[in-house]
Structure 1
Amino acid sequence: MSSTSNTDSTASTLRKDRVRLAVLMAPKPGLSFEEFDRYWLDVHANVFSSIAIAKRNLLKYEQFHLDPKYDDVIAAQSLAKSKSPFRGIAIFEATTLEKIFEIFQDEEYLRVVVPDELKFFDHENAQILAGPFATIIDL
């Protein structure tokens, strides 16, 4: 495991060799949190990671899963006033944003992955963010 920590003497910089795209995951209406969560991790992760272009184009694919047991703790804080409609974040990392978008336009992705996404994921209510990143603390 790498250990990186920037202090006052080391300026933080955005990486120029990689980019990340984050998809704020909205569950398909009518699906319980548990159904969405389990399907995304146990089924969809395998479907997505099995396609050739994902293996070729990505440096990293991560899933961030919200945990409902923290809802009350978060609600008691003053950091955010509204409950998020999103139940997780899919994070894609590659050398360029174009490499990530090539995946979403690929024939195998459209044929294999999209039909699987429609079982648990609400494309219409998802949000996408993209850009460079800086690691500030990594222990």
Structure 2
Amino acid sequence: MEQKQNEINIIQASRENSNAAIRKADAAGVAQYWMDDIIVISGEGGQYAGKKLLLEVFTEMFEDHPPVFERIPTKITIGDNGILAWETGEWNYKTEKFRGNYSAMWRKVKGRWLTQSELFVSLD
């Protein structure tokens, strides 16, 4: 039980660091928590496959008028195999009127938790 809580704490810290990178408009800082083959479905249903493409999207998004948004986990569950984790919570923009729910799949790769996929649903 203690080991799973340690893993949850690591994922929570990674999410906090990712949110901090968004506040700084630091695309590379956000991308450090992504797997190379990450899949993201954005709040309006856009689909993005791969770290390279998503990094380009974030870099472009941060260039002009960087949005500030955050993901706030409400639950993180570590799988029994210790390799996969599920995160769910709420997301919201600080600079726009967008908000909703999200889920993320994390995978432990070479001892490090990385995001494999994220699904955002806009609830505006």
Please tell me the TM-score bracket, short chain as reference.
0.3 to 0.5
Please tell me whether Structure 1 or Structure 2 has the larger radius of gyration of its CA atoms. Answer: 1
TM-score of the two chains, using structure 1 as the length reference: 0.31
Give TM-score, length-normalised by structure 2.
Answer: 0.34
Instruction: Kindly indicate whether structure 1 or structure 2 has the higher relative contact order, using CA contacts under 8 Å at least 6 residues apart.
Output: 1
- Choose between structure 1 and 2: higher helix proportion: 1
Structure (1/2) with the larger strand percentage:
2
